[in-house]
Amino acid sequence: MKLVCLILLAGLAALPVGLHAGPIGGNGASLPLVAEGEHAWLLPAGHYHGNYRIDQPLELRCAEGAVLDGDGQGSVVTIGAAEVTINGCTLRNGGRDLTAMDAALFVEKQAANVRLLNNQITTPGFGIWVDASKDVVIDGNDLVGDDSIRSQDRGNCIHLYAVTGALVRNNSARLCRDGIYIDTSNFNRLENNRLEDLRYGVHYMFSNNNEVIGNLTRHTRTGYALMQSRKLTVVGNRSEDDQNYGILMNYITYSTLTDNQVSRVRSGSTGDSMIQGAEGKALFIYNSVFNRITGNSFSQSPLGIHLTAGSEDNVISGNRFTSNQQQVKYVATRTQEWSEDGRGNYWSNYVGWDRNSDGLGDVPYEPNDNVDRLVWLYPQLKLLMHSPAIELLRWVQRLFPILQSPGVRDSYPLMSNPEGNTNT
C-alpha cells in the first residue's frame, strides 16, 4: 500500500485557499495516511494533534487507536468538499468558543452528501455542526459533552443550521447542551437516536416538514422542545424520566404526534426553561393549533397535558392518560371536544359506566370543571376532593350546565387502555 505523509503546516493562512500538502491539510502534526483505494484512506493508530481541513472528495477511515485531538482550539476537522465520508474516528478536545462555532466536525455549506459514520466524539464545544449543507448523513456516532461546564455554556451534540435532506439516526448524545438542535432546517429526519442528560433532547426552531421517528430521551430538562415550526411528524418516540416537560409544543401548527410514550416526567427548576410554569408536564401545548395528537401515552407524571395561550382546534383522540396526578389543565374561552369519529381517549381516573358494552363511557369526561379551577387557584382544596361538599358542587354543575365554564369535553371516553396496561 502507498504511504502518504502529510507535511506539517505552520498555519492554514500561509497557504493559498484550498491548497494543502495532501488530501487532508492542517496545522497539527503530519498525518500518515495509507491509501486503501481511489479516494479512500486509512489513518493508522496514533495520537494526532491539531486542526485539519478536507477540501476534496474522499473517504477517511480510522484504525482502532487513532485519535484526532484539537488541543482545545478551533474545530478538529473542517469539511469543505462534497462527497466526504469520515468513518470510525475518535475526535477530542475541540475548542469551546461557541461564537466561533468550534466543533469536533464542522461541515461547510458547499460540502453536500457528507457521511459521518460511527465516530467517537468528546468535546466541550459543538460535536457536529452542519452549516447549510444538503443531504448529510449522521449515523451511529457517539457524542459526549463536558459536564464540568454549565449546560448553557456547552455546545450542542449535533447542530443543524439551514440544512435540508439530512438523515440523523442511531446516534448517542449526552452531556451536551442540546442533543440535536435544528434551526431553520427543512425536510430532515431524526431516527432512533438516544439522547440523555441534556438540556433539551431534541430542539426545533423555525423548521418545517421534518420527521422525528423512534427516538429516546432520558434525564433531560425537556425531552422534545418543538418550537416555532410547522408540519412536523413526531411518531414513536419515548420520553422517560425527563424534567419539566416530556414534549413541549410552542407555536407548532399542522403537525402530527402519534404513538409517542411519555412517562415519569418530574417537576423541576424553570430557570433554564423558555416557558415558565414547569410542573412536570407530560405534554405542554402553548399557542399551537391545527395539530393531530393521537394514539400517544402520557403517564405517571404530575400533569398529563396542559394547554394554554389559545391552543385550540387540535384533534386529540385515542390517547392514554394514565396515573397522572392531574390529567388535564386547560383554561379556554370555548369548550374543546377531545374525540374524533365517536372515539375519545382513555383516562385512568374516569368513573363513568358503559351500559351497552361498546367500550365507550356513557358519561362524558370533563376534567377541568369549576371544581378543578378552584383547585388550581387553591391547591389546599385537594384535601377535600372526595368530600360531600365537592360531590354536591359537581352534581349542581351537571344539573345546571349553564353554570359550567368552557373547557375540555371527551364525549366518548375509552373504557379500557388500548394497550391493556394502566401503569406505563
What is the full DSSP assignment across 231-259?
Answer: S-EEES-EEES-BSEEEEEEEEES-EEES
Q: Who contacts 174 (Cβ-Cβ below 8 Å, separation ≥6)?
A: 143, 144, 145, 157, 195, 196, 197, 198
Per-residue pLDDT band at 16 (split at 50, 70, 90) = very low
pLDDT score at 4: 34
- Model pLDDT for residues 125-182, shown as the tens digit of each residue: 999 999 999 999 999 999 999 999 999 999 999 999 999 999 999 999 999 999 999 9
Q: What single string gives the DSSP state of each residue in 289-336?
A: BS-EEES-EEESSSEEEEEESS--S-EEES-EEES-SEEEEE--SS-E
Indicate the residue type of 193.
N
In whole angstroms, give the CA distance from residue 76 to residue 95.
Answer: 8
At residue 10, the pLDDT reads 28
Closest of 308, 294, 403, 370 to residue 339, by C-alpha: 294
- pLDDT single digits (tens) 231-275: 999 999 999 999 999 999 999 999 999 999 999 999 976 544 445
Do 131 and 159 contact (CB within 8 A), yes or no?
no
Grid coordinates representing 306 are: 396542559
> Tell me, what's the pLDDT at 336?
85
Tell me, what amino acid is at 157?
A: C
What's the pTM? Answer: 0.86
d(CA 360, CA 268): 36
What pLDDT is stored for residue 18 in this prediction?
29
Listing DSSP states for 66-127 in one string gives EEEE-TTSS-SEEE-SSSEEEES-EEE-----TTTT-EEEEE-TT-TT-EEES-EEE-SSEE
d(CA 311, CA 283): 12
d(Cα 424, Cα 406) in Å, to the nearest integer?
30
**What's residue 397's pLDDT?**
56
Residue 24 has pLDDT above 80, yes or no: no
- Residue 326 vs residue 121, higher pLDDT: 121
pLDDT at residue 219, rounded to an integer: 97
Give the DSSP H or E segment for 370.
helix 370-377
Helix, strand, or coil (residue 383): helix
Alpha carbon 237 to chain centroid distance?
A: 9
Query: Which pLDDT belongs to residue 422?
Result: 42
Mean pLDDT calculated for residue range 194-222? 97
pLDDT over threshold 50, residue 375: yes
Residue type at 279? Answer: E
Lowest mean pLDDT among 184-188, 225-229, 417-421: 417-421
Q: What is the pLDDT of residues 327-366, one digit of tens each?
A: 998 866 677 899 999 999 999 988 788 899 999 999 888 8
Hey, how many other C-beta atoms are within 10 angstroms of the C-beta on 394?
Answer: 15
3-state class (DSSP) for residue 388: helix
Structure confidence at residue 366 (pLDDT):
84
Is pLDDT of 396 > 60? no
Rounded Cα distance, 401 and 394, in Å: 10
Which stretch of 221-230, 316-325, 337-346, 365-374 has the lowest confidence by average pLDDT?
365-374
CA nearest neighbour of 360 among 379, 347, 374: 347
pLDDT, averaged across the chain: 86
pLDDT at 402 (0 to 100): 45
Q: What is residue 403's predicted lDDT score, i.e. its pLDDT?
A: 45
- Which pLDDT band, with edges at 50, 70 and 90, does 20 fall under? very low
What is the domain partition of the chain in residue ranges? 36-198, 216-369+404-419
> Are 152 and 182 spatial neighbours (Cβ–Cβ below 8 Å)?
no
Sign, CA torsion 345/348/351/357 = positive
- If phi > 0 it is left, if psi is from -120 to 50 it is alpha, else beta; for residue 107 that is beta
| pLDDT tens by residue, 37-78 | 888 999 999 999 999 999 999 999 999 999 999 999 999 999
